[in-house]
Amino acid sequence: MQKNVIPHTFTITQEERSKLKNHACFLLWFTGLSGSGKSTIANAVEKALFNKKIHTYTLDGDNVRKGLNNNLSFTPEDRTENIRRIAEVANLMIDAGLVVLAAFVSPYQKDRENIKQIVGTDNYVEIFINTPIEECEKRDVKGLYAKARSGEIKNFTGINAPYEAPVNPDIEIDTTQVSVEEAVSIILNKIKNKLNPIN
Ligand code: ADP
């Protein structure tokens, strides 16, 4: 905490907001290569949660890099700052009473460790979308692999920048083996108890 920044004690707490919404609040963090299926699965999970009257919000590259983080590039330093800011935003959203879904490549182990520190270990569910790079490149959803191969994009994860695979993710999904519907059911099953409101 910075000197002379003294927190005010607000009357309504996170627990009370959570009780009002009738579910617990935490972060589902999707990590994996570009095109692995993070956004597709996060979107389907959010839809399923919404249908269960869970209050959610999804953070992804489109809504974060275009606004809050539009001054950041893809250098290692800027990637670290990108993830730190996203984790801080997610932390505020958890405090606000939401189940937050975040879909980011987030290639560095130390950055993912930092997310856990920011939101708290109990609030962090790590979902590794472990689709083989050959499949991601074949899909090339945004045409970025072709650009990276031709040298047009530098620092592209999996081609000319590293991806440090999670060591012990809470959930691991290979989308060449598991359909979107199956992925949703694996994730919902895993967080079923965690969604219970704090008593
Ligand atoms: P990311 O967010 O990881 O960059 P996207 O979700 O944008 O990836 O793209 C993944 C692509 O793979 C989509 O076009 C999606 O339709 C396709 N896909 C095929 N099978 C699956 C699956 N089982 N799970 C998720 N995505 C899949």
Instruction: Tell how far the Cα of 108 is from the centroid of ligand 1, in angstroms.
Output: 21
Q: pLDDT tens-digit profile of 48-101? A: 999 999 999 999 987 899 999 999 998 999 999 999 999 999 999 999 999 999
Cβ–Cβ < 8 Å for 56, 100 = yes
31 Cβ closer than 6 Å to some ligand 1 atom: no
Confidence (pLDDT) at 199: 54
What does the alpha-carbon distance between residue 56 and residue 152 come to, in Å, rounded to a whole number?
36
For ligand 1, whether the C-beta of 73 sits within 6 Å is: no
Low-confidence spans in the chain with pLDDT less than 70: 1, 198-199
The protein residue with its alpha carbon nearest to ligand 1, atom 27, reads 37
Q: Which residues pair with 101 in a beta bridge?
A: 28, 58
Neighbours of 64 (CB within 10 A): 18
- pLDDT of amino acid 1: 63
Which has the closest alpha carbon to 30: 197, 199, 186? 186
Catalytic, 18? Answer no
Which domains are present in the chain? 18-189 (3.40.50.300)
Taking the C-alpha atoms of residue 160 and residue 57, their distance in angstroms, rounded to an integer, is 32
Cα(43) to ligand 1 centroid in Å equals: 10
Which of 141, 174, 185 to mutate to test ligand 1, by most ligand atoms within 8 A of the CB atom?
141
Q: State the Cα–Cα distance between residues 196 and 70, nearest whole angstrom.
A: 36
With both helix axes pointing from N to C terminus, report the angle between 109-119 and 76-96 in degrees, rounded to the nearest 10: 20
- Ligand 1 atom with the smallest distance to the CA of 34 is 4
Q: Which residue out of 106, 150, 179, 185 is catalytically annotated? A: 106
pTM: 0.94
